[in-house]
Structure 1
């Protein structure tokens, strides 16, 4: 008996789902160039919320994660969803690894230049350092949610209370030194997209201004920070390439990656985050970036 033909095999046009959430049902503005470029190439590119129970994900030829930024309080549900979706980029196991910032500990142990980070699990207590300026945040977060910046010893009580709030809620807290260079030089985000071989290579970079405000004030709204094109230094390029080499499973199966760096006290770049799940790619900040990503999507089809 001949097996039934999959629905997408009889269509003339490929379908691509650009995964978002109810907070921005028509996609984050930064992703609109990709949607429009795909449509111009004859692809049915649609914005779909990741938790839309009516969506038949198997009907898409490719499912591309873009802005599902409401997953944080439902991470287990989000990861379970990702493992059920066929033809997902980036892949579900990568999302699972990358959406918990404890991966920074793994990268640090492998010898990469990672911002020094202390992790405090729900079963542990934390003693604040004597002095310095520190950042407290949960290991599962997006857009600097639930993040605070504290000057010690004056605000040691506030910092300790922040850690306790997180751990009491069953979350793991992470504490990092505040890197003062972010206020002057800013943060450099290096974006990597597939090249002609299908492997990730450097595409472009941007400068982000400081996000964090004072204790209890959190961060500026996503998208409100100053974004400018930036030419990374040789040291930043080397650091970014080293980080990519350490990604579990390699980079050929990825559609994108973003490496966020800030100079440390000695001026050398330190990894702040490796973004493989749902990063802004700042396509409008670099000529050719949208074309490169569009070609990468088409090649995956």
Structure 2
């Protein structure tokens, strides 16, 4: 099988952050002609490609309506526009929690909602639609959480309120990566709060390292993908890629922090060289 593939980026990082450096070659080995293109580049005929793979469209949060319209216009998009719409609003966390997935406790606060009762201890406020940890703040009783909440509401955001998981300070997060619904590898991410923005201004710098997740982490990641597929009415195999971000809860058990199905870094540089081949094989599977 041969075909053409477009890896989708944005104008600030036209060929991503370098993490996928081995992917075009792996796709070429399977007969694909591959190129990068920014999602809003009007000169690109996305319909002409056999598959269009979202990779580094990291400016979508400020232009979500425009981005969703574009996604819905691309029939060969992976992951699909339906997945993109659902996953770019963090209210999906509440849906997964209602479906029985162990998520970090999540409260959604709309602009017209009453003022919330702040949790005991530290907690996090972040926009429901956002990326790269922008707009995220950590607070404790007596801090200016109300001011941060008002600022996000004034910008039109529904806000996610979650108790801060202190394990992030010592353990960080674990990101489990799946291709075509099948587990590939995992890597750890140190806490990002308080770190510096990348020169692109689109994400905070991270300290990444390979990791071997425990059986409990693996099981929760699998549960999260199963629940997602059920909610969306699709097969897990229809998800070209998924990154499941987990943390250790206060009781020592894993919790889902975020499920990244749109444009996550996939940690190719933090795992074995064959991961690019696994990804290329999953791309081919989508066409089959």
TM-score, shorter chain, exceeding 0.5:
yes
Q: Do residues 178 (structure 1) and 164 (structure 2) align?
A: yes
Question: Which residue in 2 is equivalent to 1:123?
Answer: 112
| Superposed CA offset, 1:24-43 (max 9, x none) | 01222112211232234442
| Superposed CA offset, 1:161-190 (max 9, x none) | 111111122110111111000111110110
- Give me the TM-score of the superposition, normalised by structure 1: 0.88
Question: Which residue in 1 is equivalent to 2:141?
Answer: 152
Question: Which residue in 2 is equivalent to 1:297?
Answer: 283
Question: Which residue in 1 is equivalent to 2:268?
Answer: 283
Q: Do residues 236 (structure 1) and 205 (structure 2) align?
A: no
Cα gap change, 1:193/1:130 in structure 2, threshold over 3 Å: closer, same or farther?
Answer: closer
Question: Which residue in 2 is equivalent to 1:197?
Answer: none
Q: Do residues 88 (structure 1) and 77 (structure 2) align?
A: yes
- Give me the TM-score of the superposition, normalised by structure 2: 0.92
Q: Do residues 224 (structure 1) and 205 (structure 2) align?
A: yes
Distance apart, 1:202 and its partner CA: 1.0
Partner SS, residue 133 of structure 2? coil
Whole-angstrom CA distance in 2 between matches of 1:112 and 1:224: 29
Distance apart, 1:62 and its partner CA: 0.8
- Gapped regions of structure 2 (runs ≥ 5): none
Cα gap change, 1:261/1:130 in structure 2, threshold over 3 Å: closer, same or farther?
Answer: closer
Whole-angstrom CA distance in 2 between matches of 1:277 and 1:26: 16
Question: Which residue in 2 is equivalent to 1:252?
Answer: 237
Out of 23, 27, 37, the position equivalent to 1:48 is 37
Partner SS, residue 206 of structure 1? strand
Partner SS, residue 32 of structure 1? coil
Cα gap change, 1:27/1:228 in structure 2, threshold over 3 Å: closer, same or farther?
Answer: same
Q: Do residues 61 (structure 1) and 42 (structure 2) align?
A: no
Whole-angstrom CA distance in 1 between matches of 2:28 and 2:133: 33
Distance apart, 1:151 and its partner CA: 2.1
Distance apart, 1:73 and its partner CA: 1.0
Q: Superposition RMSD on alpha carbons, in Å? A: 1.7
Cα gap change, 1:220/1:134 in structure 2, threshold over 3 Å: closer, same or farther?
Answer: farther
Partner SS, residue 19 of structure 2? helix
Question: Which residue in 2 is equivalent to 1:3?
Answer: none
Out of 159, 166, 169, the position equivalent to 2:155 is 169
Partner SS, residue 122 of structure 2? strand
Aligned length, in residue pairs = 278
Larger radius of gyration: 1
> 1:185-204, aligned counterparts within 5 Å?
185-194=171-180, 200-204=181-185
Q: Contact 1:121–1:172 at 8 Å: present in 2 too?
A: yes
Whole-angstrom CA distance in 2 between matches of 1:62 and 1:183: 39
Question: Which residue in 1 is equivalent to 2:191?
Answer: 210
